[in-house]
Amino acid sequence: MPPFYTTCAGRETGREPLGGGFGYNQKIIYMEKRMKKALILSLLYWVALPFAHAEVFTCTDRYGNKVYTQNAGSANCKKADIGRPSIYSAEPAKPVHYTPPAPAPEPAPDPAYQAAEKKVKDAQRALEEGKKVRYGNERNYARYLERIAGLEAEVKKAQDKLNGLSVGSAVSEGNAAPR
């Protein structure tokens, strides 16, 4: 067997040349053609580049009209000095100053809601003070518990009233949660 053949997957095929199998040589040839074509095109570009800059002549015909051309065909043609091409650029953009919007003013609190909050706080304070103090007529612990239960009922009543106002104000403002 010639030395340029190899084994494939542990068995000797005798048909696979070194370098990747069928089509490998065709790929190399195709790549070489593409490289040659790219090289030729780039050389043509660099050779043609100096000729791309043509001279411009200003010619005046017999009626006095000026004609610009690249061919100096008559004696009335003069080489025109048109200078460099004009390049216009836009003005630099002015910086935008961002000012955050002013926060929206909070709506004025409802006086009925404020009064209900005050009642809840007063009732809670009275409950705390009532738990600390045991009056002389409350020799029986059951009377003490009755008084504390009354204070707790006042706190619950005030809290329910406050909750009713907050739900009512949310409904009136259109902020009620969907059901």
Determine the Cα–Cα distance for residues 129 and 108; give it in Å rounded to an integer.
Answer: 32
Sheet holding 66-69, edge to edge: 66-69, 57-60, 77-79
Q: What is the dihedral of CA 115, 117, 119, 125, to 10 degrees?
A: -150
59 and 74 in contact (C-beta within 8 Å)?
Answer: yes
Q: What confidence tens digit (pLDDT) does each residue in 103-156 have?
A: 888 887 788 888 999 999 999 999 999 888 877 777 788 888 888 999 999 999
In this prediction, residues 13-32 reach a mean pLDDT of 66
pTM of the model: 0.36
Q: Is the pLDDT of residue 34 over 60?
A: yes
State the angle between helix axes of 141-173 and 111-132 in degrees (0 to 180), rounded to the nearest 10.
160
Determine the Cα–Cα distance for residues 56 and 84; give it in Å rounded to an integer.
Answer: 12
pLDDT of the residue at 130:
87
With the C-alpha atoms ordered 148, 149, 155, 158, is the resulting torsion angle positive or negative?
Answer: negative
Determine the Cα–Cα distance for residues 169 and 166; give it in Å rounded to an integer.
Answer: 5
Determine the Cα–Cα distance for residues 24 and 20; give it in Å rounded to an integer.
Answer: 6
Domain spans of the chain, in order of start: 5-47, 111-171
pLDDT of the residue at 45:
87
Beta-carbon contacts of 73 under 8 Å, excluding residues fewer than 6 positions away, are 59
Determine the Cα–Cα distance for residues 67 and 17; give it in Å rounded to an integer.
Answer: 69
